Amino acid sequence: MPDLTLEIAGLKLDNPVMVASGTFGYAREFESYMDLNRLGAIITKTVTLEPRPGNPPPRIAETPAGMLNSIGLPNVGVERFCSEKLPYLTALSTRIVVNVAGKTGEDFVRVVERLDSIERIDAFELNYSCPNVKQGGLSFSADPVLAQQVTRAVRQATRKPIFAKLTPNVTSISDIGLAVQDGGADAVSAINTFVGMSIDVRTRRPVLSTVTGGLSGPAIRPLALAKVYELCKRLDIPVIAIGGIMSAEDALEFFFAGAKAVQVGTANFVDPDAAIKIIDGLDHHCRVLGVDRFTELIGTLDTGL
């Protein structure tokens, strides 16, 4: 049996496949499709200090080889998250990572402080990169100074591992990556969605209520791969890759580029147990390649340069 285990930012994972925030609800929604404990980690939908209704519909649209969303961070707020969502999650045995966002740096700190004493929460993912909200959202990961300040403030509020989730909608994602690394992030999750839009040519109206949204799915995979590769070359902390991963072969591209783990997002909407199939596929590829430990494959890209 190939060994798929790894340690990332001090967290021991059974395998390197996580489910991405916002694509897996609070896990219970997927319980009939799989043994949730087989997942390397579950990243929750973003939690904010106060409840949010999200954006008006339409907030999802299909695109060629992808999906546009403008969900707008709907969630029940941290208090109801603790009473209604966490009990189910904390009864699981896999790693639980809570994705957190806020309008201000202070909001991030307050949510993390509220959750920090809950032992079964294994790590926080800081969502600096929602493209669909007016306040907060992209501003945190488009500005290296701000991204570093917020990371540093959260770092002082918790000893749990912190993943900083980065936007690709910047000139240099690795400049932002270096800033959050200096601020104390233990890993970066890359990437969130690309800003995109679509117009209904019959009505001349935008397909999404907010005009623009976030593009995800296989359409963005080569773009994501280039961003992940850039981050892996410049950062010392681990990179957790996200971006249109639909199969084990897709995941392998990111591992060869240097990612330590992957997150499966849009694929969950197409095939609810996509992440499990990817775990099984990685096992299969390790056998075929004659590799005992999956981690031996990380960063083995041969550029020929």
Q: Which residues are identified as catalytic?
A: 130
| Residue 19 binds ligand RRO (CB under 6 A) | no
Instruction: Using CB under 6 A, pick the residue from 61, 130, 162, 298 that binds ligand RRO.
Output: 130
Q: Which is nearer to ligand RRO, 115 or 276 (CB)?
A: 115
| Residue 46 binds ligand RRO (CB under 6 A) | yes
| Residue 136 binds ligand RRO (CB under 6 A) | no
Q: Which is nearer to ligand RRO, 150 or 276 (CB)?
A: 150
67-103 as b/e: b if 16+ CB within 10 A: bbbbbbbebbebeebeeebbeebeebebbbbbbbbbb
We find the least distance from the C-beta atom of residue 216 to ligand RRO, in angstroms, to be 6
Q: Which is nearer to ligand RRO, 67 or 89 (CB)?
A: 67
Give Cβ neighbours of residue 286 (< 8 Å, ≥ 6 apart). Answer: 2, 4, 292, 294, 297
Site for ligand RRO in 21-40 (CB under 6 A): 22
Taking residues 62 to 81 in sequence order and writing x for each that binds ligand RRO by CB under 6 A, - otherwise, the string is -------xxxxx--------
Contact 134, 172 (CB under 8 A): no
What CA–CA distance (Å, rounded) separates 92 from 169? 35
What CA–CA distance (Å, rounded) separates 198 from 210? 11
| Residue 129 binds ligand RRO (CB under 6 A) | yes
What CA–CA distance (Å, rounded) separates 255 from 96? 22
Taking residues 245 to 284 in sequence order and writing x for each that binds ligand RRO by CB under 6 A, - otherwise, the string is ----------------------------------------
Instruction: Please count the CA atoms within 13 angstroms of the CA of 41 that sit on its side-chain side.
Output: 29
What CA–CA distance (Å, rounded) separates 283 from 297? 12
| Residue 192 binds ligand RRO (CB under 6 A) | yes
Q: How far is CA 232 from the centre of its chain?
A: 16
Take residue 64 and report the two structure tokens written for it: 């060629």
**Residue closest to ligand RRO (Cβ):** 214
Q: Which residues bind ligand RRO (CB under 6 A)?
A: 22, 46, 69-73, 127, 129-132, 192-193, 214
